[in-house]
Amino acid sequence: MPRESTLHLLLYATAGLLAVFLTIHVALHAPGLFYDTYKESVQRESVRKNYENFGWALVALLIVAVIHGLIGLRGILLELRQGPRWEAFVNFLVVFLGAYMLGLGTYTLLTWLGIIHFGG
Amino acid sequence: MGVNGNGRPATRVVKIRVRRYDPETGRRWWQEYRVEAKKGTTVLDALLRIKAEQDHTLAMRYSCRMGACGSCGMLINKMPRLACETQLLDLGTDTVTIEPLPNFPVLRDLITDFGDFFKKHRDIMPYIVRESKKENEEPYREYYMPPDELNKIIRFSYCIMCGLCYAACPVVAIDKKFLGPQALGQAYRWVTDVRDEGLRLRLEKVDDKHGVWRCHFAGSCSAACPKGVDPAQGIQLLRSKLVALTAGARREKKPTHVATPTTVRYVDVGDAPKPTVEDKSLLVKHLEETAQELEQDLPYVAQALRDYLRTITSS
């Protein structure tokens, strides 16, 4: 694990970036901006269009949200209990969850965009 | 019976509920006492009177009786306070509850174990660390410190290690390894000291899973501090120092204002002032009168004054 100060610097940086990417995310669903209604913004075709037009922003949102959230979760879990085995478990858990969520999110996006095809 | 400015009686009987613990039997219980209190009667006065007149088995820790030693920290009406600085009537309740400080293991009644607390304090190296091994091991002169540099740390230097901030901290309550506001506040005090060169060593200690980053900034430590030290501010400043150093935004501060021990300039402060009471008999008379006045309400203080009188009259 990196040093705690490095993790917290990352926490603060991702918090700033989250504000930017969450604004884009909310704007994509806000009525009257890109779509007339919220319901229209969550239709299959709208989501596909968002992925095509703002895929980079959504991947960035996924990355910063996962990093920010997992560093925060790690802090909470380390406060709940103490001990070397628990700390090792928590570190493993956040790395595993991070890899899983980033992998799943990126895979979903790439599949939707048709860059990779599940099952050939 | 007279009344005070609020229209309340100047003297009244206060019910004191003390949380007691007997380590031999493991029994914990609440015990009630009644003490007559007037303006100026502190919680420590009341406890000492209970111990002297009602229950000799009541155990508490105290020393200076003037808010300087930090020994008599207790949870008074659910707030960590110094018993010697808390006046019974100021609490404004007819029943006063007194418990040992939370976040500390209880040894007996109101006495708690400060071992872990002091260990954490020692961990952050609360002393000047110099790069020169010789200076560390054989200090031979004091270091000159300019007043403007002293102003930066003086607030944090008022810490008397009473443990009230540690008792008030919600993070210490769940994370026993957390260094706590006292140690972290002192870490800031020492890394900011221009005479010190141990910044990196200390930051390694506080930049830990259970170090400075665990603070939630509840601010209860600063609210509880009887000396206005504001450890919460120290922790935030320590964090910003760490973030800036990690991000490379600020270089490690070199103690540019520090004179080496050999070039210390001593200022002639002149002779000590003459005693204000030259006639010893006046002092003796004053002490006798004071002891007489206190005989009724604070007999142990009167006794202490008489002991002192005996010392100065026999010398």
Integer angstrom CA distances of residue B289 from B48, B305, B311? 23, 10, 17
Residue type at B114 in one-letter notation = F
Quick check: ipTM above 0.90? no
Which of the four pLDDT bands, split at 50, 70 and 90, describes residue B148? confident
* Residue A12: Cβ within 10 Å count: 13
- What is the phi/psi pair of residue A34, to 5°? -100, -30
- Chain A residues with CB under 8 Å of B214 CB are 75, 78-79
- Chain A residues with CB under 8 Å of B211 CB are 4
Taking only residues 96 to 115 of chain A, the set having a beta carbon closer than 8 angstroms to any beta carbon of chain B reads none
pLDDT at B214 over 50: yes
Could B243 and A8 be called an inter-chain contact, meaning their C-beta atoms sit closer than 8 Å? yes
Reported residue count of chain B is 315
Strand partners, B27: B22
Q: Could you give the 3-state DSSP secondary structure of residue B92?
A: coil
Is B202 an 8 Å CB contact of chain A?
Answer: no
Domain B11-112 has CATH 2.40.160.50: no
The span from the CA of B119 to the CA of B106, in Å, is: 17
pLDDT at B283 (0 to 100):
83
pLDDT at A32 (0 to 100):
82
Q: Start-end ranges of CATH 3.10.20.30 in chain B?
A: 11-112
Which of the four pLDDT bands, split at 50, 70 and 90, describes residue A120? very low
For A48-70, letters b (16+ CB in 10 Å) and e give eebbeebeebbbbbbbbbbbbbb
Could B247 and A87 be called an inter-chain contact, meaning their C-beta atoms sit closer than 8 Å? no
Is A88 an 8 Å CB contact of chain B?
Answer: no
Q: Which parts of B70-131 are beta strand (E)? A: 73-76, 79-82, 95-99, 106-108, 111-112
Among B175, B246, B247, beta carbon nearest to A79: B175
Is B93 an 8 Å CB contact of chain A?
Answer: no
pLDDT at B249 over 70: no
Which of the four pLDDT bands, split at 50, 70 and 90, describes residue B250? low
The span from the CA of A26 to the CA of B3, in Å, is: 65
Q: Start-end ranges of CATH 1.10.1060.10 in chain B?
A: 115-263
- Chain A residues with CB under 8 Å of B238 CB are none
pLDDT at B125 over 60: yes
Q: Compute the nearest-CA separation of A79 from chain B (Å).
A: 5
Q: Mean per-residue pLDDT for B247-260?
A: 59
Single out the residue of B208, B206, B235, B210 nearest to residue B220, CA to CA.
B235
Task: Mention every residue, 6+ apart, whose C-beta is less than 8 A from residue B148.
Answer: none
Among B176, B214, B246, beta carbon nearest to A6: B246
Q: Which of A71, A79, A80, A90 is the mutation pick for testing B, counting most B CBs within 10 A?
A: A79
* DSSP per-residue string spanning B133-198: HHHHHS--SPPP--HHHHHHHHHHHT-----HHHHH-HHHHH-TTS-HHHHHHHHHHHHH-TT---
pLDDT at B263 over 80: no
- CATH architecture of the domain formed by B115-263: Orthogonal Bundle (1.10)
Per-residue pLDDT reduced to its tens digit, A34-63: 888 888 888 888 888 888 888 888 888 999
- Chain B residues with CB under 8 Å of A79 CB are 171, 174-175, 178, 214
Is B241 an 8 Å CB contact of chain A?
Answer: no
Residue type at B75 in one-letter notation = L
Per-residue pLDDT reduced to its tens digit, A91-119: 999 999 999 999 998 888 888 777 666 55
The span from the CA of B189 to the CA of A41, in Å, is: 54
Is B150 an 8 Å CB contact of chain A?
Answer: no
Q: Report the sign of the C-alpha dihedral through residues A63, A64, A65, A69, in that order.
A: positive
Reported residue count of chain A is 120
- Chain B residues with CB under 8 Å of A5 CB are 207, 213, 242-243, 245-246
Could B177 and A80 be called an inter-chain contact, meaning their C-beta atoms sit closer than 8 Å? no
pLDDT at B101 (0 to 100):
97
Could A4 and B211 be called an inter-chain contact, meaning their C-beta atoms sit closer than 8 Å? yes
Q: Mean per-residue pLDDT for B247-259?
A: 59
**Angle of the B231-247 helix axis to the B180-192 helix axis, nearest 10:** 60
Could A5 and B177 be called an inter-chain contact, meaning their C-beta atoms sit closer than 8 Å? no
pLDDT at A74 over 80: yes
Is B174 an 8 Å CB contact of chain A?
Answer: yes
Q: Mean per-residue pLDDT for B239-268?
A: 65
H helix count then E strand count, chain B = 12, 7
Which of the four pLDDT bands, split at 50, 70 and 90, describes residue B178? very high
